[in-house]
Amino acid sequence: MGLGRFRQVHTAFACGFGSLIMGLLNVWPSYTSELYFSNTTTPLSTPMTKAEESLLGSLPSLGAMVGCAIAGVLINNLGRRNGGVVLSLPVLLSWAIISVTTSMKLVLAARFVSGISGGAFLVVAPIFISEVVEDSIRGTLASASVFLYCTGTLLSYIIGWCFTYRTIIWLNLVFCVAATVLILLVTESPVYLLRQKREEDAKLSIAKYRGAPVSSMIVLDELTRLKQQVMPSVELVSITETDPKAEEAEKEKLKLEENLDLEKPQATSSFKLLFVQPASRWAFMVVMTVISMQVFMGIVPVQVYAKTVFTETDPSKADMYTVLFAVVQFSGSAVTGAVADKAGRRILIISSSVLVFLSMMSLGCLMQFKAGPPILTVILIFAYCFSFMFGAGSIPYVLLAEAFIPEVQNLASMIIIEWVWFLNFLIIAVFPYLNTAFGMYGVFYLFGVMGLANSIIGYFIVPETKGLSNAQIQDLFLSRKKH
């Protein structure tokens, strides 16, 4: 791997590390709640109540919504790197509070604060990755956030199984410090630098990310392309010596365009571009749909209640099954990273969703009619988890990183991730009521139907974007919209 590729991987990993932190903190209540409930072993001044247990699990999702809302503003004003450093601090503060407090109210406040970082990095990651990563490896690196989230859940289950309450908190603090250091060491995005009129710094950034000399044609060509995307055409300056007559002709052309009141991208707000420009509007609709469907396919409540099902199956092996569940998640997301730039986005969404449908319907039948040995339930949950993670759960975030032009990437990412966190909060809140109304097997049937629907959606509306440049992807969305 060349130095340029290494920097691209480092940036994707640094952005995705916020998702690893989110995986760690989301799983933490699964092995801490019992300790907080106990009258004899709780580290709190008073044992936790049922209402507080619900908040312990759900507050990070609300904090994540705040993180999504402020992420775009921070990285636009401070830069991708410096903004990322600031956004990594809330979760560090939250674990520091939990390490010293005995108040449940402060623990809950800290849980809310911790979600700010996790939500923010889900916005930062697709923006930063889309700005620095080569087209040929974009799918693999754009799936890093999902892969690292699964890594975080796996690590959390393991340390929860092996270590004490205080040690777990200190380990989480170490991971948070690592997240801050990783993002601090990245090279700033050339897109941000160009928007700050720092052309020489942008050129140097491109050279670092491409592993090429600053004066090479690779760097100069990419600089020209980025300037055409993010800077007003009147400000574009040729990178080579130009003919004065050609310059004069270009000025006359620009004057003619102004007289004709031609719409210029830089004069149009991001909001208007996103919802009025046909390619951006269609891309937003596609990404919003597939990312919503992956929430409705139920991975979050299945994660939350997996240990309950495993305990009912075999109490003596519940912890082992829970860790294996996380291993399966990790494996599924790793498969996406390995094949996203080979198999393609569309086929992964379709095949993954079909397998989710089959595994959920089988699991529902097994639980409804109490057929087969208990271990079969565990196997089917693992099959569902793997099927979900290798396509339907990961590819929407790849599309989020590559489907939009730079002018709308920030806004689109913020709106979509904000929506995802709201849906996650909603589905966790309503899951107990659905379980009461339809039974666990009925809910699994519902998740299976969502998987089937997502495969149909993937077939009809998701374009294949593997290996395409941003301009080619816009043309692809525009051509599909016309048809």
* 339-397 pLDDT per residue, tens: 878 888 899 999 999 999 999 999 999 988 888 788 898 899 999 999 999 889 989 99
What per-residue string of b and e applies to 357-382 under the rule 16 or more CB within 10 Å gives b? bbbbbbbbbbbeeeeeeeeebbebbb
The number of beta carbons lying within 10 Å of the beta carbon of residue 148 is 25
Rounded to 5°, angle at Cα 275 from 270 and 280: 80
CB atoms within 10 A of CB 56: 19
| Domain residue spans of the chain | 1-186, 269-483
pLDDT computed for residue 248 by the predictor? 55
From 1-10, 12-21, 245-254, the region with the lowest mean pLDDT: 245-254
The pLDDT, as a whole number, for residue 480 is: 67
Cα 411 to Cα 122: distance, rounded to the nearest angstrom: 13
Q: Is the pLDDT of residue 311 over 80?
A: no
pLDDT at 271: 86
User: Is 483 a residue whose pLDDT tops 80?
Assistant: no
Structure tokens that stand for 112 in this block: 């809310």
The whole-number pLDDT of residue 362 equals: 94
% residues pLDDT > 90 (the chain): 50
Model confidence at 2: pLDDT above 90: no
Give residue 161's pLDDT band: very low, low, confident or very high (50, 70, 90): confident
Contact between residue 70 and residue 122 where contact means Cβ atoms under 8 Å apart: no
- Residue among 7, 477, 411, 469 at smallest CA distance from 229: 469
The residue that leads in pLDDT, 323 or 456, is: 456
Residues in CB range of 3: below 8 A, 6 or more apart: 208, 211
Token pair, residue 181, equals 């250091």
**pLDDT higher than threshold 60 for residue 286:** yes
Specify the pLDDT at position 191. Answer: 93
Distance CA 312, CA 316 (A): 10
What's the one-letter identity of residue 81? Answer: R
Angle among Cα 476, 412, 429 to the nearest 5 degrees reads 120
Question: Could you tell me which residues come within 8 angstroms of residue 300 by beta carbon, excluding any fewer than 6 positions away?
Answer: 424, 427, 428
Domains 1-186 and 269-483 share a fold: yes
Of residues 335 and 233, more confidence is placed in 335
Dihedral sign of CA atoms 99, 105, 106, 109 in order: positive
Task: Report the chain's mean pLDDT, rounded to a whole number.
Answer: 86
Cβ contact 272:265 at 8 Å: no
Q: Are 129 and 12 in contact (CB under 8 A)?
A: yes
Q: Model's pTM, two decimal places? A: 0.79
More confidently predicted of 412 and 50: 412
Q: Say what the pLDDT of residue 237 is.
A: 43
> What is residue 392's DSSP assignment?
I
Residue 73 DSSP symbol = H
pLDDT for 26 = 86
CA 470-471-477 angle, to 5 degrees, is 90
Q: What is the mean pLDDT of residues 269-290?
A: 91
- pLDDT at residue number 244: 52
Q: Residue 321 has what pLDDT?
A: 86
Q: Tell me the per-residue pLDDT of 41-80, one tens digit each, with 9 for 90 and over.
A: 889 999 998 888 878 887 888 899 999 999 989 999 999 9
* 18 in Cβ contact with 120 (< 8 Å): yes
205 has a pLDDT exceeding 90: yes
Tell me the average pLDDT across 232-252: 46
Question: How many CA atoms are closer than 13 Å to the CA of 441, on its beta-carbon side?
Answer: 12
Please state, for a pLDDT cut of 70, what percent of the chain lies above it. 90
Tokens of 463: 């374009």
- How far CA 426 is from CA of 53, 154, 438, in Å, comes to 16, 24, 18
Indicate the fold that domain 269-483 takes in CATH: Growth Hormone; Chain: A; (1.20.1250)
Both tokens of 237, joined, read: 């300056």
101-110, 292-301, 346-355, 454-463: segment of lowest average pLDDT: 292-301
CATH architecture of 1-186: Up-down Bundle (1.20)
Task: Write the pLDDT tens digit of every residue in 416-447.
Answer: 988 988 888 788 778 878 888 998 889 999 99
Tokens of 228: 């055409």
Average pLDDT over residues 253-272: 53
- Output the pLDDT for position 272: 86
Q: If you ran DSSP here, which 8-state letter would residue 10 be given?
A: H
CA nearest 458: which of 225, 290, 238, 337?
Answer: 290
Buried b (16+ CB within 10 A) or exposed e, 99-112: eebeebeebebbbb
**Band (167; pLDDT cuts 50, 70, 90):** very high
- Stretch 288-302: mean pLDDT, rounded? 90
Collect all residues with Cβ–Cβ distance below 8 Å to 212 and sequence separation of at least 6: 4, 218, 219
Tell me which amino acid residue 455 is. S
